[in-house]
Chains A and B, each alone.
Chain A
Amino acid sequence: MSIERIAPISFGILALLGWEFSVQWAEIPPYLLPGPLAVMAAFWADPAGLLGSLLSTLAVTFTALAVSALLGGVLALATSVSRLALAAIEPWAVVLQVTPIIAIAPLVIIWVNDPFISLVVCATIVAFFPIYANTVAGLAAAPAELSDLFRLYGAGPVQSLWLLRVPVALPFFLAGLRISGGLALVGAVVAEFVAGSGGFASGLAYRIMEAGYRLQIPRMFAALVLLSLAGIAINLGLGVVARVLMRRRGAARGEA
């Protein structure tokens, strides 16, 4: 293992040790700042409850991500085929992007009766734009000479789309998906916060609030740590998915 590979792990361990020692040495009470050991103890006190909440949040996140991918992909295709669709959709996509989810979430939660669906809607609003915008850019990114070549051989619009523009757009779409993965998690957590106990009452955000009210600060930290680990895992996971897909495309050699 090279020194570069060990460096981040060693640094993390050192930081945790430093944190634990400072907390002990300065006798900071755990309700202000718990040390890493106290956080781990809080997790082990109720792993099923916290992991269950994590699963609930992840269910919202992945549903929202799937809906965003589908919606973003389909709308990007529509806008790239029809100027009218582009003119009609583009401004609203931007409106969705610039409106803070925290401001819309209460409305969505009032309008949508089902708590799960309302959370998914909020997370989708946040996660949708990067996929849509990246795919639109990708669909327009085919080199001019290749477009000329397709024109020269009398390719129809459908042929140009499937044989040239969609394959060119694939890496753009995957990059958007990776950005949106993290955003979907953020969106899900924000929506859970807004929904509070009136909502689904099972996600990690709800656990964080609940622990805060009860001054179970170590448990709050444990939930936070789980959230960021989930975010990191989603980011890395989608990175792997993108790499595998791109490599498989390179390896998919035709029979002709």
Chain B
Amino acid sequence: MLSIEQVGRRFAPGKAGATEALRDVSLRIVRGDFVALLGPSGCGKSTLLRLIAGLDQPDSGRLVWDQAPAPGEIGFVFQDSTLLPWASAAENVFLPLRLRGVARATAKNDVWAALARVGLAGFEQALPRELSGGMRMRVSIARALVTRPRVLLMDEPFAALDEFTRHRLQADLLALWLELGCTVVFVTHSIYEAAFLARRVVMMTPRPGQIGQEIRSPLWAERTRVDPAYTALVAEIGAAMDAAMVAADA
């Protein structure tokens, strides 16, 4: 679906000279996959996600889509829920459709359905400040899903939530992905999160950001955190990550 070919990205020189956020990054993402980009802070994983979203352009290399995405075909979920604080949950979910010129009345069913799908039926009229952090993130996910995107890009969406909420949202996201069948690229710095969610875990190393080892998950649909296969996967990713960091430091 998307082929990332030898992409590089540098940022304007700061005090420590130009920062090379990405160097020679190549990655193929196939349709319907769930890819986790896993790495420590500053390894360029968010930069890569912004490149895929088209919010930023590479300095070298290129991104080749089988079919170039139109606005609305890419859903983006930020680390913060980034809701309009003055607008209700429904208004926030309506926003992507509104920006496309869809009338409020026409959009209503889709908006309410998107909110119901993330478990927020009955909270349509609630303002963001009246919702908990986890519920705000659900609104944000509903907003990303309302345009029925082909690709869902998520930038550490659950990093700021408490452990219990995070576990629930991870399970719900997995169910949504199975139901909707869209492609998900999920940026995280949590080994557990990557192991639990992804089918492909792509590891990245910092300074400059590069793609490292890739691990395919043996887990399928029904998975639990007590599954020995999950525990083994966590250990495998952890060991690979350690080895990559040692190699990067050497």
Contact = CB atoms under 8 A, between A and B. Distances in A.
Nearest to A251: B127
Given A145-B82, A164-B84, A153 B125 contact: no
Interface stretch (B21-29, B30-38, B92-100, B182-190): B92-100
Q: Which of A149, A249, A252 has the most CB of B within 10 A?
A: A149
A152 B76 contact: yes
A232 interface: no
A151 B72 CA distance: 11
A254 interface: yes
B76 A254 contact: no
A152 B125 contact: no
A173 to B, nearest CB: 14
Contacts of B93: 256
A159 B97 CA distance: 12
B4 to A, nearest CB: 18
A30 B129 CA distance: 58
Nearest to A249: B86
A152 B53 contact: yes
A146 interface: yes
Contacts of B147: 153
B86 A145 contact: no
Contact of B82 (A146, A167, A250): A146
B80 A145 contact: yes
Nearest to A254: B91
B84 A167 contact: yes
Nearest to A160: B99
Contacts of B90: 253-254, 256
Interface string B38-74: 0000000000001001110000000000000001101
B91 A153 contact: no
A163 interface: yes
The SS class assigned to the A binding surface is: helix
A256 B104 CA distance: 6
A256 B53 CA distance: 27
A23 to B, nearest CB: 53
Interface in B74-121: 74, 76, 78, 80, 82, 84, 86-88, 90-91, 93-96, 98-100, 104, 107-108, 111
B111 A256 contact: yes
Contacts of A154: 71-72, 99-100
Contacts of B76: 148-149, 152
Contacts of B108: 255-256
B99 A150 contact: yes
A81 interface: no
B129 to A, nearest CB: 8
Contact of B54 (A152, A155, A167): A152
Given A149-B76, A253-B88, A255-B104, A163 B98 contact: yes
Contact of A167 (B53, B86, B111, B129): B86
Contacts of A252: 86
A255 B90 CA distance: 8
19 contacts: A146-B82, A146-B84, A148-B50, A150-B99, A152-B55, A153-B96, A154-B71, A154-B72, A155-B99, A159-B99, A250-B86, A250-B127, A250-B129, A252-B86, A253-B91, A253-B125, A254-B88, A255-B104, A256-B90
Interface of B: 50, 53-55, 71-72, 74, 76, 78, 80, 82, 84, 86-88, 90-91, 93-96, 98-100, 104, 107-108, 111, 125, 127, 129, 147
Interface of A: 143, 145-146, 148-155, 159, 163-164, 167, 249-250, 252-256
Closest 8 A/B residue pairs (Cβ): A154-B71, A254-B91, A256-B94, A253-B88, A153-B99, A145-B82, A155-B99, A153-B96
